[in-house]
Chains A and B, each alone.
Chain A
Amino acid sequence: MAKTLTLLLMDPPFESANTATAFRLIDAALRKGHTVNVFAYEGAVNLTMKGQQQHPNPAHGKTVEEEQHPLTRDIVSGLFTSGGGDRLRWINCGLCVDERGAGDWVDGPRRGGPGDFWKWVTESDQTLVIPCR
């Protein structure tokens, strides 16, 4: 039976293994037919920034193409595709976005606030908060 999972993420991109695990969890839930709500709080609003760019790795002598550095914006976009357009809902905390100048993001997420998270919690079958250290 399809259910709804709400996640709160706080870690910024390229910082913590929490992000990779959260992405894997979202992917698994979507593949199982569930709906996933993601509330991106604090540094996690940077996960969706459109301006992220791949880079070479001079230490290993690799070009941009060879390095194939994964970008969180691309992973989020892929998850929206997996979710078929309506089973993944993503809200970036507006105040956190403004503080960080992170307002230019990929298609899919919308702006919101903690009240949206509270509403999702009351409507979901499960809520998991993945905090920073």
Chain B
Amino acid sequence: MPSYLFIESRDPFETRDVEEGYRLLAELAAKNTPVTLFLVQNGVLVARQGARAEQFAALAANPRVKVLADTFALQERGIPTNALLPGVQASDMDALVDLLMVDDQKAIWH
């Protein structure tokens, strides 16, 4: 069964098409397709507690969606891991490589 790895580098407050990616993930998860959202670069900004992004908050709260945030990007932006929304886990490039190498994983960068 294929799984999907969506690497989001953009901030939904910067461009609306980020929300299209969130919607795609929610729809895949609703079909019981394993999905992971890995946030890099400005993509991590939405993971802060208090960020007003309902679609992202719904994804983070969805038990069928794994949401990871690049620690390097968090540190660059002064976001401590204890300021992340529940459901978002700090991660790193080693973990991203492992995810990319999962058999039948379909990877998308946005």
Q: Chain B residues near A18: list those with CB within 8 A.
A: 9, 41
Question: Interface size of B by Cβ–Cβ distance < 8 Å?
Answer: 19
Q: Chain A residues near B7: list those with CB within 8 A.
A: 128
Q: Chain A residues near B92: list those with CB within 8 A.
A: 28
Contact B109 A28 (CB under 8 A): no
Identify which of B94, B103, B107 contacts A128 (C-beta below 8 A).
Answer: B107
Q: Chain B residues near A129: list those with CB within 8 A.
A: 109
Contact B40 A21 (CB under 8 A): yes
Q: Chain B residues near A28: list those with CB within 8 A.
A: 92-94, 96-97
A31 to B100, CA, bound (A): 15
Q: Is B81 part of the binding interface, using a Cβ–Cβ cutoff of 8 Å?
A: no
Chain A interface size range: 20 to 34
The 4 closest A-B pairs by CB, nearest first: A28-B93, A17-B41, A126-B100, A28-B97
B interface with A by C-beta (< 8 Å) = 7, 9, 40-42, 70, 72, 92-94, 96-98, 100-101, 103, 105, 107, 109
A interface with B by C-beta (< 8 Å) = 3, 5, 17-18, 21, 24-25, 27-29, 31-32, 34, 125-131
